Structure 1
Amino acid sequence: MKHATALKKVDAVAIGGFDGMHEGHQHLFNALGERGAIVVVETGYANLTPGREREHFTTHPIVYLPLDEIRMLDDRGFVDYLRERFPVLSRIVVGYDFRFGLDRKFSHADLSKAFGGAVQVIDEVTVGGESVHSHKIRAKLIIGDVAGANRFLGHNYTVRGDVVRGQGIGKKELVPTVNMLTNGFLLPKEGVYASLARLDGEEHYHPAVSFVGHRVTTDGSFAVETHVLDGEIVCKERIDVSFVQRLRGNEKFASLDALKEQIGRDIAAARKAVGRLEL
């Protein structure tokens, strides 16, 4: 949402980093009206929904503000900055822990005093009695708890990337896989996952099993590769992989035959894990 005339119509904004677009963030977005917009403060550290990936998880327009443009502003300077970009702004929505300015000096209370209009503060959001934060989602992914991360996110954790050539062993000796680059995304802990795959931008997701890690049984290189369970399906350019459940850790096998037997068990487990899902 970059066009000046579009910005002039925005009367409410939700402000934050919004990496993950998780359940807590969605409570802020739900408070926006028809002419509301999301203001993403880009810190450069987002790796759950890096860059414009956030746009997959909302119908609201998004405006991106580089942190360096606002980090030195005081409360009044920040309000002036917002009013310059959103001339009819009448309401600001922030989380209970919102901070801004140099050394995060200012809170939502300071923002309310400087703004003069309505500042709506959304209370802490919890799932299963635990507060939802992006750093907790990252921690869950790092230990391979994608199911826990998904509960906090309110959607399956998804990485997207370009298709690249693999080592060629899969199709000949094991099972065919789609290999991908995932620049900018945090990857879950090395292992095998039940997943869903969307190929070349199609609307439908396919049940799949995905491997993340070093190919310790073959060449030792790092890979993110996905086997689609629907049969021989060609993916030429881009793949989206949504992680559903961790099946096992990364293991070294004595032979390709032993690895192939385990892959068969992984496929069966993945079918069971995603079989209940609406694709």
Structure 2
Amino acid sequence: MKRSSSILINKENIDSIAIGGFDGMHIAHQELFNNLSQNGAIISIETGYASLTPKNYRQEYSRFPIFYYDLQNIKELNGIEFIKLLKSDFKNLKKIVVGFDFCFGKNRACKVDDLKKVFDGEVVIISEIKLDNFPVHSRYIREFLLNGQIEQANRFLGKEYKIYGKHIIGQGIGKKEFVATINLSIDEFLLPQNGVYISKTIVDDCEYNSISFLGHRQTTDGNFAVETHILNVDNLEVKDNIVQIKFIKQIRENKKFDSFLELKNEILNDINIAKKYFY
């Protein structure tokens, strides 16, 4: 679940900060955080485009408090003014940690070398992080997800890609004709490529092995859906309307079947594949 907000943290105690966008909170971001002091904090610059870990969900992936700065409120500040703002907000600031490609100030005019000139404390520059000689960046993780390459995305994230959704009433066919599913409405998160996935689903703070589908229900009503089936559990009641899905591996892409029977047989086959993975 989401961790508590950073607004309860006393800024006076913070002596080091890591600055960035931090969508994904992936392994390269974690390397920045590893260079913070005990009294460190994370400064997240909000552009409005975060879709891997939207603003209110990032605290889950770090023990350090996160403070959010809206880009629209600071984009006209030059480099000196931006650092002055940070020193005003964190009066005990002695150390700044950034990535090698960090830019700041109006029109992103200032680079890491400029940061060393305008900040009178310690500046730590983290070199580019790679996996198998491939750079770890949020944009690549998005591409992996959109291509159904969940395992690759998870390696770059350093965790299983997870979304949060609101429990909604589905079309009701699954429970009657196929298998029971929990249907979700997803607003903020990037969804992986349409298809069927081995997954884990968190309901009321309990994690279950599951199989999840997202895409247009081409064989039934044609509507877009995100739904998850809990393996080996019957008639699970959802009390908290917020449900989480962790994606582990794609089984297949979405496709249209010629009959309900063909669809049902494929669903049962998908479930067997997931069960073999877990059990």
Q: Same fold (TM over 0.5)?
A: yes
Q: Tell me the secondary structure at the aligned position of residue 13 of structure 2.
A: coil
Quick one: which amino acid aligns to residue 28 of structure 1?
L
2:254 maps to which of 241, 250, 254:
250
In structure 2, runs of 5+ residues without a counterpart are 1-5
**Cα shift readout 1:94-146 (whole Å, capped 9, x = no counterpart):** 00010112221111111111011101001111112211000000011111111
1:216 maps to which of 215, 218, 241:
218
The number of aligned residues is 272
Instruction: Kindly indicate whether residue 164 of structure 2 is the aligned counterpart of residue 155 of structure 1.
Output: no
1:59 maps to which of 63, 69, 74:
63
Percent of aligned pairs with the same residue? 44
Quick one: which amino acid aligns to residue 137 of structure 2?
H
**Cα shift readout 1:213-253 (whole Å, capped 9, x = no counterpart):** 00000000000000000311222312100000000011111
Residue number in structure 2 paired with 1:2: 7
Q: Tell me the secondary structure at the aligned position of residue 185 of structure 1.
A: coil
Structure 2: how far apart are the matches of 1:267 and 1:166?
19
Q: Tell me the secondary structure at the aligned position of residue 42 of structure 2.
A: strand
Q: Alpha-carbon deviation of 1:71?
A: 1.1
The answer to whether the 8 A contact 1:162-1:181 is kept is yes
Residue number in structure 1 paired with 2:117: 113
Q: Tell me the secondary structure at the aligned position of residue 2 of structure 1.
A: helix
The answer to whether the 8 A contact 2:14-2:90 is kept is yes
Structure 2: how far apart are the matches of 1:98 and 1:159?
28
Q: Tell me the secondary structure at the aligned position of residue 106 of structure 1.
A: coil
Instruction: Kindly indicate whether residue 130 of structure 2 is the aligned counterpart of residue 135 of structure 1.
Output: no
Residue number in structure 2 paired with 1:102: 106
Q: Alpha-carbon deviation of 1:272?
A: 2.6
Structure 1: how far apart are the matches of 2:277 and 2:80?
52
Residue number in structure 2 paired with 1:168: 172
Quick one: which amino acid aligns to residue 45 of structure 1?
Y
In structure 1, runs of 5+ residues without a counterpart are none
2:276 maps to which of 240, 255, 272:
272
Residue number in structure 2 paired with 1:234: 237
2:28 maps to which of 24, 28, 41:
24
Quick one: which amino acid aligns to residue 210 of structure 1?
S
Residue number in structure 2 paired with 1:205: 207
Instruction: Kindly indicate whether residue 183 of structure 2 is the aligned counterpart of residue 189 of structure 1.
Output: no
Residue number in structure 2 paired with 1:78: 82
The answer to whether the 8 A contact 1:41-1:64 is kept is yes
The answer to whether the 8 A contact 1:206-1:230 is kept is no
Q: Cα RMSD between the aligned structures?
A: 1.1
Structure 2: how far apart are the matches of 1:258 and 1:153?
36
Q: Tell me the secondary structure at the aligned position of residue 205 of structure 1.
A: strand
Measured at CA, do residues 136 and 107 of structure 1 come closer, stay the same or move farther in structure 2, by a change above 3 Å?
Answer: same
Residue number in structure 1 paired with 2:18: 14
Q: Tell me the secondary structure at the aligned position of residue 78 of structure 1.
A: helix
